[in-house]
């Protein structure tokens, strides 16, 4: 990999999953001979900059990394620069506007003629993916809660209609059964509703 490739993903990116490619992704190269960091345009943008706004350096990058992560990141870079990779690390940074980003940084040697001449890395911004996953989980949890409430209310209605108990008494019956059988309240409610449905479908004598 040479500096000419810094503006695009490596060819192997074609094999990456859509979830990976949908995340903002930047590249960095560092050659031992000149000690200069070369960032792709996308990497500048992850940090909140455009090319020309800043000169990439280790000190500049560390200043954006959350303080607790800085020693780990420095040790990671030193290890890869000395021994190569591939190796990966999760990093939390603050961009130019103090917005937090969760990054996955994977790095390895740049090899020319069989000799390590530098380090290149792929930086994947997982922030939006993490937010989306959490939002989806929250949405699913709310939907599941709504479904559970609905079936509990349905089970209460069945008990009220068949036994003449009040709504509170019906719930208490379900709750007692839940504790007795060590099952969730909504699981007992589902069983009551299912039995009622089966009974209604059975041939009447």
pLDDT tens digits, one per residue of 21-62: 467 889 999 999 999 999 999 999 999 999 999 999 999 999
Alpha carbon distance 63, 70 (integer Å): 8
Confidence at residue 175, expressed as pLDDT on a 0 to 100 scale: 87
Residue 71 and residue 106 in one domain: yes
Asked if 61 and 156 sit in the same domain, the reply is: no
Q: Is it the case that residue 204 has pLDDT exceeding 60? A: no
d(CA 108, CA 121): 7
- Check whether 3 has a pLDDT greater than 60: no
For residue 76, pLDDT beyond 50: yes
Average pLDDT over residues 6-20: 40
3-state helix, strand, coil in the chain (%, to 5): 55, 20, 25
pLDDT score of 140:
58
Lowest mean pLDDT among 64-78, 133-147, 172-186: 133-147
pLDDT for the residue numbered 147: 77
- The residue among 92, 125, 158 that closes a domain is 125
Same domain, yes or no: 100 and 70: yes
Looking at the structure, tell me whether residues 21 and 110 fall in a common domain.
yes
Which among 125, 149, 177 is the end of a domain? 125
Residue 5, pLDDT score: 39
Q: pLDDT tier at 136 (50, 70, 90 boundaries)?
A: low
Distance CA 46, CA 173 (A): 56
| Structural domain harbouring 162 | 132-201
Length of the chain: 205
Residues 136, 167 within the same domain: yes
Which pLDDT score, from 0 to 100, does residue 198 have?
Answer: 81
Residues 35 and 103 in one domain: yes
Query: Is pLDDT at 151 greater than 90 in this prediction?
Result: no
Predicted pLDDT of residue 15: 41
My answer on whether 138 and 183 are in the same domain is yes
Assess whether 99 and 7 both reside in one domain. yes
pLDDT for 23 equals 79
CA dist 79 and 57 (Å) reads: 17
88 lies in the same domain as 11: yes
The total of structural domains in the chain comes to: 2
Of the two residues 11 and 31, the one the predictor is more confident about is 31
Share of the chain above pLDDT 70, in %: 78
């Amino acid at each position: 990999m040479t500096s000419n490739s810094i503006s695009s993903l490596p060819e192997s990116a074609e094999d990456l999953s859509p979830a990976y490619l949908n995340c903002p992704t930047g590249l960095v190269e560092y050659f031992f001979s000149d000690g200069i960091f070369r960032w792709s345009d996308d990497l500048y943008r992850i940090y909140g900059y455009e090319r020309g706004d800043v000169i990439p350096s280790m000190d500049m990058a560390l200043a954006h990394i959350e303080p607790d992560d800085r020693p780990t990141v420095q040790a990671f870079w030193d290890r890869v620069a000395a021994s190569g990779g591939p190796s990966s690390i999760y990093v939390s940074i603050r961009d130019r506007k103090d917005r937090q980003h969760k990054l996955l940084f994977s790095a390895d040697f740049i090899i020319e003629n069989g000799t390590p001449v530098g380090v290149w890395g792929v930086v994947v911004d997982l922030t939006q993916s993490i937010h989306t996953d959490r939002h989806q989980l929250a949405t699913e949890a709310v939907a599941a809660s709504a479904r559970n409430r609905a079936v509990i209310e349905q089970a209460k209605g069945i008990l009220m209609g068949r036994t003449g108990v009040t709504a509170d008494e019906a719930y208490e019956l379900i709750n007692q059964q839940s504790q007795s059988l060590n099952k969730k309240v909504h699981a007992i409610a589902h069983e009551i509703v299912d039995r009622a449905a089966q009974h209604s479908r059975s041939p009447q004598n």
